[in-house]
Structure 1
C-alpha cells in the first residue's frame, strides 16, 4: 500500500485510534474534486471548522461549502458535530480520518489493479498540489523575508531501479516523520511557527 496524505493532522487529531483504513471507491470519488480536496485539507490541518470559517478561507459561498461538505459526509470522510459554543446558527464539521491510504499504482490491464476511482483521485490530487503552490506564490508579497527564504521548489531526475526508488521513498518518508515529531512538540500558538506544506512525489519520469 502507498499512503497519500491530504494534509497534516490538526489539533483535533486523536493520538490513538485514528482510522487508517484503506480508502474505498466512494470516498475516492468524493475527493476527486479539487475544491472538496481543499476543504478536506483545511479540516485535517486546522481541525474543527464551521461552514462560515471555511467559506472565508477559500472565498466560496457558504452554500457551495455546505454542498461539498455533504458530499464528503456521505462518503464518510467528515461529520457534523455539536460544538460547545452553543450557537445553533453555526454548522461545525470535523474529519473522520486523517490520511488517505491508496493501493499501489498499477497498469490498468493488471488483474490486481486498483478500482477505477483511483486514477481520477490521483489527477485531482495533482491539481490540488499545483493550486496550493500557486496560492503560496500569490502570497509571497505578504510573507516575511525569512519565510520566503525558507521555501523551496526543487526536482531531480535520477536513474534508479524500482527497488532503489522504493528505498529512497522510505528514506525520505522517515525524514518527514522525524520532522513531524518536531512539529508536534510546538505549542499550537507559537508565533514563530506556521503550517508548512511538504509534498513528496516520486514516479517514473516521462519526457
Structure 2
C-alpha cells in the first residue's frame, strides 16, 4: 500500500521504494491490502492471527502473505515462530506510488484502479472505526475530521499546499529509535486533497 501521497517529505532514516508495475499488481488485491494494513499498523503477526481478525481461512491468508513477501512488501521475522507458524512483518521501507508512472500502461490500469479504490476504502474504514470507539475527552477533542471547500487553485498551487502540509507532518514524525512519551498513542494522519469538477446549477 502507498504509505503517503505523492511527493511526501520523508524522515531521512527510512529508505523509500517506488512502486513499479509488477509490485503494484502484487499488492492490488483487497485481502492483500488489508493484510498489509494490519501488519503496518499493529506490527508482526501470524497467518492464524491475521485470519482470525479478517474472518478468512488461514490457508488463504498464508498464500497472500507469501505473495506479499515475493513482491518485497513483507518478510518473515527471523528467530520467531516455528516451521508451522511463521511470523510476518512489514519491510522497513516507505512505499511511494506515482499514478503518472502508469498513465500510458494499459496492462496496469486494472491494478491501479483496484489499488486506489481499496486504498480509499481503507482510509474510510479507519475513520468509521474511530468514530464508533469510546475515547476520553482529551483524545476526542484532540482529533479532527475536517474539510475545506472554498479554495480555488492551480495544479502548482495544490502541489505546493500538499508539500507544505506533508512537511508539517514530517516535522512531527519522531525518529524510529525515539522513545515515545508515556501517554502517547499511535496516531494516523490522513490527507485527501483533490480537484472537484464544477457542476451547473440549472
Structure 1 residue runs without a partner (length 5+) = 7-14
Residue 204 of structure 1 pairs with residue 195 of structure 2: yes
User: Contact 1:30–1:71 at 8 Å: present in 2 too?
Assistant: yes
**Aligned-partner Cα distance in 1 for 2:145–2:127:** 9
Equivalent of 2:140 in 131, 142, 148: 148
Post-superposition offset of 1:107: 9.6
User: Counterparts of 1:37-56 in structure 2 under 5 Å?
Assistant: 37-56=33-52
- C-alpha root-mean-square deviation of aligned residues, in Å? 3.2
Q: Which runs of 5+ in 2 are unaligned?
A: 5-11
How far is the alpha carbon of 1:193 from its aligned partner?
Answer: 1.7
Residue aligning to 1:64: 60
Kept after mapping to 1: 8 A contact 2:46/2:88: yes
| TM-score using structure 1 length | 0.74
Query: CA shift at 1:61, angstroms?
Result: 4.0
Q: What residue number does 2:7 align with?
A: none
**Matched-pair contact (CA < 8 Å) for 2:14–2:93:** no
Segments of 4+ moved more than 3 angstroms: 15-18, 55-61, 86-89, 104-108, 111-115, 182-187
Residue of structure 2 in register with 1:11 after alignment: none
Deviations 1:36-60 (A, max 9, x none): 2222122223333222333344444
Cα deviation code 1:72-91 (max 9, x no counterpart): 1232222224324x544421
Work out whether 1:165 is the aligned partner of 2:161. Answer: no
| Correspondence 1:13-162 to 2 at 5 A | 16=13, 18=15, 20-84=16-80, 87-105=82-100, 108=103, 111=104, 115-116=108-109, 117-138=111-132, 140-141=133-134, 143-157=135-149, 158-162=151-155
Count of residues paired in the alignment: 189
Q: TM-score, normalised by structure 2?
A: 0.76
Point out which structure has higher relative CO (alpha carbons under 8 A, 6+ apart): 2
Deviation at residue 182 of structure 1 after TM alignment: 7.6
After superposition, give the CA deviation of every residue in 1:176-203 in whole Å (9 maximum; x if it has no partner): 101112886333xx55122111111211
